[in-house]
Structure 1
């Protein structure tokens, strides 16, 4: 049990340091308290034991249960162990999956791509997603080569969709497209070294608030149904197909209620 406490306490210390480094002060304080809990308990037990008076005419025992009975002591140890395990478990989730505050300067919309990365980040200095629209958006796609790319909405789109002229700090919504799924087969595309099937892409989208990383909503959309082959493409090794991407009309139809309204 003692070794387990040492290991869990050490993990709580690590999680506390990581939380403070990522600017999450409440979580850092929580793990600091968790790390201190077992030590405070042991000190309390030791102090109580030293205060136990010796019976008349007998030498004081080297150690004793003190005012805290053995049963209560075991119960307290178990409760502390459960609390520490739960906190460390949450810490593992927080380290591996919870979004972290982005520390790097944001000067372009493409700098927000970490909002869709494996360990997502949020951007505390960005505008909040609140009130009526428009809510400026940055859309990132996962390509056939598994790269994360800023989606281009084209020319003459409303300001809240304009990835070229949009101030990145005004972005309120980050939309993340998963890797494309397979829709209908469209045509074969011949390239210099290979021929690839062109498939209409299907996309699952998750939208997050840029400022907090909180999920706003989800959507699905389709890539273009037109059998137009690109002049150049990148794919994963061994791939035999590529996927069409959505156009602006598809993005707006699927995401407009989060962006325009």
Structure 2
């Protein structure tokens, strides 16, 4: 007597899923990823870049809950670098101001003065002759003399215009810059400063004090067009009889020098022009 062929194996109990890595039994559909009876399907999140589907997200680094720290702003880093550089520049500028307190007329040659020549648009541009420069649109040095004068200022390498008031023909004219052919430079004479008084000034609502000094000035005359030295005209006084209305000075060295006597400068220049 022959027996009938064996039938398919019985179904697994309801709700039982095949184990991971186990082949489904004959006649059984794979249940991977299928929700069990009465269970809501669970959707896996979208895979991250470089992550295979179905893989769990990477764990955050040890000691850093929630992931790596936020990156610093590149713009903020650049700002700090610029601010640091500006801070160094400001410190360097202060040191130079404290050390280089006196403008110096260097031993410039003719080639250097020609290279430093500038075109004057205003009378104040002629102060370059008191340094190491010259004025390209100035008149050639010759009679009649047309002279402009500058005195050594309180700031480093600065020169202040001297007002010439005598009614004589040697004074320069702002309306005719191309006629100026000579520049008088008045430098403070070393060893002649005498403290006259202490003055008070308002600086941003604060009261600051500075010593006010009388001093003598040496007068040297130069060609405007070339910067070549012409002659020395001697010295004049700078009397400190009353405090100036405005002044520029360093807080580390609060000293203010009196301006040269305008009438005395006029007399020196008139004497030269009359020769």
Distance change >3 Å, CA 172–CA 143, structure 1 → 2 = same
Q: Is residue 149 from structure 1 mapped to residue 163 from structure 2 by the alignment?
A: no
Which of 199, 211, 220 pairs up with 1:197?
211
Contact 1:200–1:222, Cα closer than 8 Å, also in 2: no
Q: 1:166 Cα shift? A: 5.1
Distance change >3 Å, CA 217–CA 253, structure 1 → 2 = same
Superposition map of 1:134-213 within 5 A: 135-153=145-163, 157-162=167-172, 165=174, 167-179=176-188, 181=190, 182-192=192-202, 193-213=207-227
Distance 2:231 2:110 in 1: 22
Distance 2:182 2:171 in 1: 10
Contact 2:150–2:186, Cα closer than 8 Å, also in 1: yes
More helix by share: 1
Larger Rg: 2
Q: How many residues align?
A: 164
Q: How big is the alpha-carbon RMSD for the aligned residues of Structure 1 and Structure 2?
A: 3.0
Cα deviation code 1:79-106 (max 9, x no counterpart) = xxxxxxxxxxxxxx87798422555432
Q: 1:244 Cα shift? A: 0.9
Contact 2:129–2:224, Cα closer than 8 Å, also in 1: yes
Which of 214, 229, 233 pairs up with 2:243?
229
Distance change >3 Å, CA 98–CA 206, structure 1 → 2 = farther
Q: Is residue 130 from structure 1 mapped to residue 142 from structure 2 by the alignment?
A: yes
Distance change >3 Å, CA 156–CA 130, structure 1 → 2 = closer
